[in-house]
Amino acid sequence: MRIRADSKKSLPGHFSAHFLIDYDTGLYVQDFFQERLYLERRRTERSGKPFLLMILNLDRILKARGRDVLRPVAHDLLTCTREIDLKGWYRSGSSIGVIFTEMEQTGEAARNGILRKLSSRFSMTLGPEDSGLLDITFHVYPEEKKKDGIQIDPALYPGLIRNRARTIPLAVKRMLDIIGSAAGLALTFPLFLVIAAAIKADSKGPVLFRQERIGRFGRRFVFLKFRSMYAGSNAEAHRSYIRKFIRGTLESQDDAAPRIYKLTEDSRVTPVGRLLRRTSLDELPQLINVLTGDMSLVGPRPPIPYECADYDLWHRERILEMKPGITGLWQVKGRSRTDFNSMVRLDIRYARDWSLWMDIRIVLATPGAVLSGKGAY
């Protein structure tokens, strides 16, 4: 594949390269196209205007006709789409992406119009039978909102999914998670028994509290904690509180006091539960979540589905790149005494600047944050 140098200036964001265009097809190379997709997402976050991503999968037609088909297919895409639409390799040599920008509509009618136009052109170029081997899918950003939770379409984030530069470091991170969580469970097993007995003696109900949470890329999992509230407590008070906190409408009797991410003076919390929360011992069962791979020792805190319903677009970035963790940059920097936007920025900063050394520093700083008791309720 021949490519040409287009610019000597580094591009913003995650990508820096001199080579932008594949000479054989006239399409943007994969890395640059994925960078443009990233920048379009950021622009939508600011403007609120959606865009449409079309992915043309070539696997079947390449198997049937070979690579000679690439040039005519790319030519049809370049001539049948607008100049402002971005055309490039979504996955080098096997799928092409087109980002339709500045569109008034991105709904089914718009998608069907594009599909009819391209299908007609491909049918003339390749023939009706071979054109049927082209697989076309459409993806709209931002994704449709759910009442409870968050809708993440992985096709819109290819640069995050296939981040080869982090493959080995993330594998090491996972290995350390397994070793650390297994060792932690073995060392704290006697403490588990003591806490379980105290919870059972304090109030009726199960020892463990199980709750659905949102993990990386919006995947749901069962989150474990020691039960710190009376069994059957209604979550509506917390839902209302968090909604106000995220929207920045939380009232405080003291304007100088920081807005707290957790409810204080919560009547649902048991006496033993209050102690567990103050010491963060209620978090110990999450070592099981780490061992099973749902969480990491270090990462952003996993949100409850109803929290995500009030997220702005840019808030969602905190749960895209990294697995949720037991501790994280937010916990050691501000813990619960941080406004929501600042918390999200810390999580995004962690995801972008992540390294194994950063994880080590956060783990070493966590005991001090826990012992201080600041922001624990």
Whole-angstrom CA distances from 291 to 168, 177, 295, 302 are: 19, 7, 8, 16
- Return the pLDDT at 191: 96
Position 6 confidence tier, pLDDT thresholds 50, 70, 90: very low
Please tell me the distance from the alpha carbon of residue 256 to that of residue 271, in angstroms, as a whole number: 29
The CA distance from 188 to 185, in Å, is: 5
Does the model's pTM come out above 0.75? yes
The pLDDT of 95-109, averaged and rounded, is: 89
The three-state secondary structure class of 337 is coil
CA distance 372 to 219: 33
Distance in angstroms (rounded) separating the CA atoms of residues 369 and 349: 19
Give me 253's structure tokens: 């009797």
Q: What is the pLDDT of residue 258?
A: 46
The answer on pLDDT for 253 being more than 70 is: no
Q: Is 50 exposed, middle or buried (0-12, 13-18, 19+ CB in 10 A)?
A: middle
Segment among 38-47, 219-228, 293-302 with least mean pLDDT:
38-47
- Span 279-331, pLDDT tens digits: 889 999 999 999 999 999 999 999 998 888 888 888 988 888 899 999 998 88
- pLDDT per residue as tens digits for the range 57-82: 999 999 999 999 999 999 999 999 99
Query: For residue 51, what are its two tokens?
Result: 């865009």
**144 confidence band (pLDDT: 50, 70, 90):** confident
Whole-number Å distance between alpha carbons of 70 and 67? 6
Mind giving me the DSSP string for 56-80?
EE-HHHHHHH-GGGHHHHHHHHHHH
Distance, in Å, from the CA atom of 165 to the CA atom of 355, rounded to the nearest integer, reads: 11
Q: Identify the structural domains of the chain with CATH numbers, from first to last.
A: 3-142 (3.30.70.270), 164-372 (no CATH)
- CB of 293 closer than 8 Å to CB of 170: no
Instruction: Count other C-beta atoms under 10 Å from residue 248's C-beta.
Output: 10
Three-state DSSP at 320 gives coil
CA angle 216, 220, 221 (to 5 degrees): 100
Contact 99, 40 (CB under 8 A): yes
Rounded average pLDDT over 324-350: 84
Q: Compute the C-alpha angle 103/106/110, nearest 5°.
A: 95
Report how far apart, in Å, the C-alpha atoms of 5 and of each of 18, 20, 92, 212, 314 are. 5, 7, 18, 49, 33
Beta-bridged to residue 229, according to DSSP, are: 269
The token duo for 262 is 């957790």
Q: What is the separation, in whole angstroms, between the first and last Cα of the chain? A: 59
